[in-house]
Amino acid sequence: MSMVSIHLPRSLQDKAGELAHQDGISFDQFVVSAVAEKLSVLLTADYLEKRAARSSQEAFEHALQDIPDVEPEPYDAL
């Protein structure tokens, strides 16, 4: 693992420290988790955007034809 030095506004550091304490983890663990979560969000959005660019309305409608036209189970109804 590498060491990184960052400057955080005191308010962010204080709040992150409080939340880390509530979760029973270190400040460093909290920051690592927060960075990993942000990367996951950004990479997922990028993946979905690229995936959507490969799609077409025609392919979507073709896939819909494979779905049976039946009433949903009671547990699955809106």
61-77 burial code (b ≥16 CB/10 A, e <16): eeeeeeeeeeeeeeeee
Q: What is the pTM of this model?
A: 0.62
Non-local CB neighbours of 78 within 8 Å, separated by 6+ positions: 72
* Average pLDDT for 21-26: 98
* Average pLDDT for 26-52: 95
Mean pLDDT of the chain: 94
* Average pLDDT for 46-74: 92
Q: Given a cut of 90, is residue 1 above it in pLDDT?
A: no
* Average pLDDT for 18-33: 98
Rg (alpha carbons) of the chain, rounded to whole number: 22
* Average pLDDT for 27-51: 95
Chain centroid to CA 40: how far?
5
